[in-house]
Amino acid sequence: MIRFGIAGFGLHAVRRLMPGFQLAQNCRVVALSRRDPQKAREAAEQYSIPHIFRSTEELCRCPEVDAVLVTTPDVCHCSDVLAAVRAGKPVLCEKPMAMNAEECRHMVEGARAAGVLLGVAHIFRFEESTARLRARIAAGDIGNPIFARAEFSYPGIGHARTWLYDPAIAAGGPIADVGVHCIDALRYILQDEPQGVSAHAQRDEGSGRVEAAAILTLAFRRGTLATVLVSTRAQYRTPLEFVGDKGTLRADDGLRVDPPVSLELWREGKLLGTEAASNRLAYALQVDAFADAVEGSRPFPLPGEEGWQNQIILDAAYRSLSSGKAEDVTILEKQAPVQRTQK
């Protein structure tokens, strides 16, 4: 049983992480850190978490903590991950992995040099629906993928995470916040890498210096053209669609964990069949997978290099916003990840 400490115990921990840990089989939460001591005590009491800390550094030094889950604001990810690495603690970092790709490089290289397991928490890799889309496309259900589309919008005005509108704290607006989910899902499902990206965005009075809505176009190496549409102004929607030369696969709620997801196969304008998928265990599967990797029983499927690659794509998208043209994407060389860190 792997004992986790959650660094930055906030809204995400309450809404998503703790329900996931309650369903997990091989891990539990024994510590948390939060800057507000009153809120920290309330959370610890609510979830029966025995250890409370004011900082990530203190949490990482706790001998009762086997692994650290970093859920602090984006600007803290690099320093918090490196704090865990210095303490020799396996660390799972929330997305987006950092503020930029250079920070990701420091995180990955630091963990590798220390022999510490580093993973990135892209939850949709643990969904049954995305796994089924990946398998069906690989099996040729739609033939050669020509187009792909991923959207992620949510109403962000009045959102509790007010720091999302501050570019000194957040890696960006919805491109970085939820667009990274779309990018990672497309890479995973298509089993391919984008070689170029172009981006257009809109800001408004409420979004300040970050974008409120954006569209990205990704050109994948094997020829698929993909669009990513993100917004903190439109109503909640997360459709996925893959169009091939022999058919189309659709999932209206493709990037959601709560409701069942219906996958539809269309050919020549006719619905040929549907397949239901449940994603309710995604968060439990994610932390259990990391716990298994800490114990050395199986590799974690999302090593830090995957978060680094996604950040390279995000950086190219933001360069495109500034340059007004398509920007190239560097593809990282694959390396064997660190697998076992528990003594």
Name the CATH architecture for the domain at 2-122+283-301.
3-Layer(aba) Sandwich (3.40)
- If pLDDT is split at 50, 70 and 90, which confidence band does 287 have? very high
| Lowest mean per-residue pLDDT among 33-37, 117-121, 128-132, 292-296 | 33-37
**Residue-level pLDDT at 343:** 46
Q: Where in the chain is the domain with CATH 3.40.50.720?
A: 2-122+283-301
Helix, strand, coil share of the chain (percent; to 5): 35, 25, 35
Query: For residue range 139-177, what is the model confidence (pLDDT) as tens digits?
Result: 999 999 999 999 999 998 877 778 888 999 999 999 999
Residue 165's SS3 state is: helix
- If pLDDT is split at 50, 70 and 90, which confidence band does 224 have? very high
Say which residue, 192 or 340, is predicted with more confidence.
192
Q: Residues 231, 201: contact at Cβ < 8 Å?
A: no
Whether residue 337 is predicted with pLDDT greater than 80 in this model: the reply is no
- If pLDDT is split at 50, 70 and 90, which confidence band does 338 have? low
Whether residue 331 is predicted with pLDDT greater than 70 in this model: the reply is yes
Whether residue 221 is predicted with pLDDT greater than 90 in this model: the reply is yes
Whether residue 340 is predicted with pLDDT greater than 60 in this model: the reply is no
- If pLDDT is split at 50, 70 and 90, which confidence band does 336 have? low
The whole-angstrom distance between residue 45's C-alpha and the CA centroid of its chain comes to 28
The mean pLDDT of the chain is 96
pTM over 0.85: yes
Q: Where in the chain is the domain with CATH 3.30.360.10?
A: 128-278
Whether residue 328 is predicted with pLDDT greater than 70 in this model: the reply is yes
Query: For residue range 36-50, what is the model confidence (pLDDT) as tens digits?
Result: 999 999 999 999 999
Q: What is the CATH number of domain 128-278?
A: 3.30.360.10
Burial (CB < 10 A; 0-12, 13-18, 19+), residue 11, is exposed
Mean pLDDT, residues 276-303 = 97
CA–CA distances in Å: residue 164 to residues 119, 157, 175, 188, 286: 23, 11, 11, 26, 24
Helices (H), the chain: 11-12, 18-23, 37-47, 56-60, 77-86, 101-114, 128-138, 174, 180-190, 282-295, 304-323
Mean pLDDT, residues 250-261 = 94
**Residue-level pLDDT at 19:** 97
